[in-house]
Structure 1
Amino acid sequence: MASGISGLASTATTASASTGSGTTSQEIAGNFTQFLTLLTTQLKNQNPLDPMDTNQFTQQLVQFAQVEQQLKGNDRLDSILTNAKSASAASSTAYIGQTVTADGKTAQLKNGAATWNLTPARAAAKATITISDAKGNVVGTQVKSLAAGSQTFAWDGRNSANLTSPDGQYSITINAVDATGQTVSVDTAVSGKVDGVDLSGTEPVLTIGNARLPVSSVRSIGSGLST
């Protein structure tokens, strides 16, 4: 008789280790009810010459109670995550129509203009700025000095052959040195007017033309049109 209860407990424990779906919850609830029924029946009809081990009953009851608490805890966590995602989705829609500045090296070339925000760690006497297309092909290179602090770098879309590049996404790479020849790190950011929000992933993603910026990368928000 006791082995039957032990087997049932093992089955329930194995089920609890699987997915936290509604089917699993129903199986655990059913096994728990069966266990209590079997336990009550055995207590009523046990052999007085060979009484059942109450310690085993207690351990199995504790085990089932822990499984039940875990299932309830998982349900509550799922509810919290769902509510948090809904709140994040609702708040992220407020970005639509706003001009944001976010971490990144990729900007959208539109109507012959693409803009990056550059912030060197200190003044750079020489900065080689390389612009590449979406396939990684270098389309243009410029060499200039950079002052300390935040500044805007605008590209008119002209490639190395002085031809106009097609609209699309372009990335920027900067190799800068100061007057002593020491490397200067340059932080890059992009700006643009948000025209949509993608809510299909775990984090909302803002869309600016074909560019995609995670909400977590946003540094500042404005209300003007993108340049």
Structure 2
Amino acid sequence: MTSGISSLVNSTTTSTSSSSTSTSDATGIANNFTQFLTLLTTQLKNQNPLDPMDTNQFTQQLVQFAGVEQQLKTNDRLDSILTASKTASTATATSYIGKTVTTDGTSAQLQDSTATWTLDPARAAPKAAITISDAKGNVVATQTTALTAGSQAFTWNGKTSAGLTAPDGTYSIKIAAQDTTGANVAVDTSVTGTVTEVDLSGTTPMLLVGSQKVPLSSVQLIGLSTSGS
């Protein structure tokens, strides 16, 4: 019977080796714990007085099952925390619908021949080569300009290098900037748009700005809703 208890303990411990335990696993472990107590009680009642159960083994089995019980409680608490966190994130994300947000990123929507990015160079860059590409990565326009230190808007009029008008859609920007000494200057980019939807299909809510999905962590600034509320 001692071997049966040991096998039961080992089986239970193995089933909780992963970081999370499913409901069916938890139910199985609870049933195993009940069986363990039954077997243990029976063994204590019927043990040979001249050859009693090894107290070290008995203590070890109790410690193992206590650890299993503690892990089950920890997993339950973690599940509750994750659920609460996701609920809070969802509520926060949905509150952004209709509001104007500024987010990290290089992609902006060209609409009515206008696409705008916010550029923030680390320092003044008298020479900055700007490259604009379409959603497929094809370069459609290039431009050389000077950037002052600090945040500033850059607006593209939708004209390609060939002088044609680019169709509405998503375009990305890339900047290669240099200061007066010829050293490279890092330029942060961000875009501003209105949140129209929230995608809750993934593990974290994503804001839909134009056709771009933006995580909450990328939001830099939140403006008023488009209705003015």
Following superposition, the deviation at residue 224 of structure 1 comes to 6.3
For 2:7, the equivalent position in structure 1 comes to 7
1:173 partner SS: strand
For 2:88, the equivalent position in structure 1 comes to 87
Could you list the structure 1 runs, at least 4 aligned residues long, displaced by more than 3 angstroms after superposition: none
TM-score scaled by length of structure 1: 0.96
1:180 partner SS: coil
Pairing of 1:156-195 with structure 2 (within 5 A)? 156-195=157-196
Q: Which amino acid aligns with 2:90?
A: A
Q: Which amino acid aligns with 1:190?
A: V
Q: Which amino acid aligns with 1:17?
A: S
For 2:71, the equivalent position in structure 1 comes to 70
Corresponding residue pairs, total: 225
Following superposition, the deviation at residue 204 of structure 1 comes to 1.6
**1:58-99, CA deviations, whole angstroms, 9 ceiling, x for partnerless residues?**
110110111011011101110110011001101111111111
- C-alpha distance in 1 between matches for 2:26 and 2:113: 58
Q: Which amino acid aligns with 1:91?
A: T
Following superposition, the deviation at residue 130 of structure 1 comes to 0.3
- C-alpha distance in 1 between matches for 2:126 and 2:12: 70
Provide the aligned C-alpha RMSD in A. Answer: 1.2
- C-alpha distance in 2 between matches for 1:89 and 1:117: 27
For 2:144, the equivalent position in structure 1 comes to 143
Q: Which amino acid aligns with 1:212?
A: K
Pairing of 1:187-206 with structure 2 (within 5 A)? 187-206=188-207
- C-alpha distance in 2 between matches for 1:8 and 1:223: 61
1:141 partner SS: strand
2:95 partner SS: helix
Answer with 179-188 or 97-106: which moved more: 179-188
Q: CA 1:137–1:32 in 2, change beyond 3 Å: closer, same or farther?
A: same
2:85 partner SS: helix
Following superposition, the deviation at residue 187 of structure 1 comes to 0.8
- The yes-or-no answer on 1:210 pairing with 2:229 is no
- C-alpha distance in 1 between matches for 2:4 and 2:149: 77
For 2:130, the equivalent position in structure 1 comes to 129
- C-alpha distance in 1 between matches for 2:10 and 2:74: 21
- The yes-or-no answer on 1:154 pairing with 2:159 is no
**1:177-221, CA deviations, whole angstroms, 9 ceiling, x for partnerless residues?**
112211111111011011111122222211112111111001011
- C-alpha distance in 2 between matches for 1:146 and 1:153: 10
1:27 partner SS: helix
1:95 partner SS: coil
- C-alpha distance in 2 between matches for 1:30 and 1:218: 48
- C-alpha distance in 1 between matches for 2:6 and 2:72: 21
1:195 partner SS: strand
TM-score scaled by length of structure 2: 0.95
- C-alpha distance in 2 between matches for 1:115 and 1:164: 16
Gaps of 5+ in 1: none
- The yes-or-no answer on 1:48 pairing with 2:88 is no
- C-alpha distance in 1 between matches for 2:149 and 2:191: 18
The answer as to whether partners of 1:15 and 1:27 remain within 8 angstroms in 2 is: no
- C-alpha distance in 1 between matches for 2:133 and 2:109: 12
Identity between Structure 1 and Structure 2 (%): 65
1:194 partner SS: strand
